[in-house]
């Protein structure tokens, strides 16, 4: 049953900072920070890349349970993600969420009241809840012509006078053993691997994805370009830098050619260490991680979805970093710039067991 709820947002004076009084989990999808908004609304959780902390008991119960199970639903999303982007039902009031637990594919075209550069934007989350927000005129807009996105079965392509495209997947240990030769033969040219995650229990233990070492070399040997993402649960800049250093340490010895992605998420149906982290702080954490990655010579990127862009991340403070955008609608609903679009969490690819996230990269000619 699809219930449409029009949510009225009161944009606060600091237009991109929302008090996270509720929980979010990318258990309803990925990757961002908290915008300035007061929401007297029920926000559904949004998850896309959520993960497990194999050490903290709370994390084990929350992440292994929440993420090895919920995340299989969400992680395939963002894999553990795009398990992408999210809010707890408790929180269902402080930040909008975008659940990347795609339960359906609704053909909804983003509605702009006065063009893509300004005005109001209407969009829906994965549960069909409707939102209306003001488009930030100070944030770069994407140049893509939406009618140039063409689907043939599960595959998506884009071609215009300026851009072309290619397809890829994102995976974690939840996909098990992957036959990368078959993935490449199936027409997928890149992969974004989960390198690690921080548990969302009180201790916030950081752990390496148990399939990362195998996947990174096997994928490269099969001819795929490789990027990585980290499922973040930092509560301040110090922890965000710790997460970045963990990533850099485990990238040592592995030559990758695609971005290193920061994937901050909220937890939906459980207590989480990030429950009271504000949007302002999420944005600072994201910037701190990206700066550290950039200083080490890698290209940082941010995983996000429309809810995070509308209510969590202050995009004006993150303009230097490309966006990996997650949205399971027929067309991307964001008016803002993005370089990658995670367009489904229910893809089927030869060489990968079960569902997997599919992504399209937009490449300037």
pLDDT digits (tens, 9 = 90+) for 137-186: 999 999 999 999 999 999 999 999 999 999 999 999 999 999 999 999 99
What percent of the chain shows pLDDT beyond 70? Answer: 68
pLDDT band (50, 70, 90) for residue 265: confident
Cα 28 to Cα 220, 287, 305, 357: the distances in Å are 31, 23, 11, 15
Average pLDDT of span 283-309? 97
Residues 6+ apart with CB under 8 A from 288: 237, 240, 241, 244
Residue 306 pLDDT more than 70? yes
What's the pTM value of the predicted model, to 2 decimals?
A: 0.75
- Residue 34 scores a pLDDT above 70: no
| Beta-strand pair 163-171/190-198 | parallel
Three-state DSSP at 181 gives helix
pLDDT at 108: 40
Count of beta carbons in the 10 Å neighbourhood of residue 198: 29
Query: C-alpha distances in angstroms, 3 versus 140, 221, 348?
Result: 32, 47, 29
Q: What are phi and psi of 150, to 5 degrees?
A: -120, 130
Q: Match 């009241």 to its residue by tokens.
A: 113
Grade residue 216 by pLDDT with cuts at 50, 70 and 90: very high
d(CA 311, CA 7): 12
Question: Rounded mean pLDDT of the chain?
Answer: 77
pLDDT of residue 269: 81
pLDDT at 344 over 50: yes
Confidence of residue 359 (pLDDT cuts 50, 70, 90): very high
333 has a pLDDT exceeding 80: yes
Distance CA(234)–CA(241), nearest Å, equals: 9
Strand partners, 360: 167, 341
d(CA 40, CA 47): 21
Query: CATH no. for residue 249?
Result: 3.20.20.80
Mean pLDDT of 317-327: 98
On whether the CB atoms of residues 329 and 106 are closer than 8 A, the answer is yes
* pLDDT per position as a tens digit, 45-88: 344 454 433 333 344 444 444 444 333 333 333 444 334 333 33
Amino acid 245: pLDDT: 98
Host domain of residue 325: 1-365
Q: List, for residues 78-126, the tens digit of each pLDDT value.
A: 444 334 333 333 333 333 333 333 333 333 445 544 345 669 999 998 8
Tokens 């809010």 sit on residue? 87
| CB-based contact 240:285 (threshold 8 Å) | yes
**CA atoms of 230 and 260, how far apart (whole Å):** 8
What are residue 20's phi and psi, to 5 degrees? -80, 85
Q: How many domains does the chain have?
A: 1
């Amino acid at each position: 049953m699809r219930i449409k709820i029009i949510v009225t947002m009161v944009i606060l004076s600091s237009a991109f900072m929302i008090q996270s009084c509720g929980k979010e989990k990318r258990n309803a999808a990925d990757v961002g920070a908290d915008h300035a908004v007061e929401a007297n609304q029920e926000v559904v959780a949004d998850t896309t890349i959520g993960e497990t902390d194999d050490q903290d008991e709370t994390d084990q119960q929350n992440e292994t349970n929440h993420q090895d199970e919920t995340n299989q639903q969400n992680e395939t999303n963002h894999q553990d993600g795009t398990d992408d982007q999210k809010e707890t039902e408790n929180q269902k009031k402080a930040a909008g969420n975008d659940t990347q637990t795609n339960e359906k594919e609704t053909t909804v075209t983003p509605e702009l009241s006065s063009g893509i550069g300004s005005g109001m934007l209407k969009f829906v989350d994965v549960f069909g809840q409707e939102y209306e927000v003001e488009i930030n005129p100070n944030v770069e807009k994407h140049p893509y012509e939406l009618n140039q996105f063409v689907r043939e079965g599960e595959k998506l392509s884009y071609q215009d006078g300026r851009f072309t495209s290619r397809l890829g997947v994102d995976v974690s240990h939840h996909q098990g053993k992957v036959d990368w030769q078959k993935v490449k033969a199936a027409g997928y040219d890149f992969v974004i691997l989960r390198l690690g995650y921080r548990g969302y229990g009180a201790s916030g233990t950081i752990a390496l994805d148990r399939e990362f070492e195998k996947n990174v070399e096997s994928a490269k040997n099969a001819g795929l370009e490789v990027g990585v993402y980290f499922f973040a649960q930092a509560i301040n800049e110090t922890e965000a830098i710790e997460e970045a250093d963990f990533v850099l340490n485990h990238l040592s010895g592995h030559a990758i050619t695609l971005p290193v992605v920061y994937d901050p998420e909220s937890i939906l149906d459980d207590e989480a260490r990030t429950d009271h982290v504000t949007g302002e702080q999420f944005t600072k954490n994201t910037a701190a991680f990206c700066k550290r990655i950039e200083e080490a010579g890698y290209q940082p990127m941010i995983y996000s979805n429309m809810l995070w862009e509308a209510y969590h991340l202050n995009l004006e403070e993150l303009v230097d970093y490309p966006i990996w955008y997650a949205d399971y609608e027929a067309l991307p609903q964001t008016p803002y710039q993005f370089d990658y679009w995670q367009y489904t969490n229910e893809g089927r690819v030869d060489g990968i067991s079960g569902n997997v996230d599919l992504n399209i990269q937009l490449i300037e000619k």
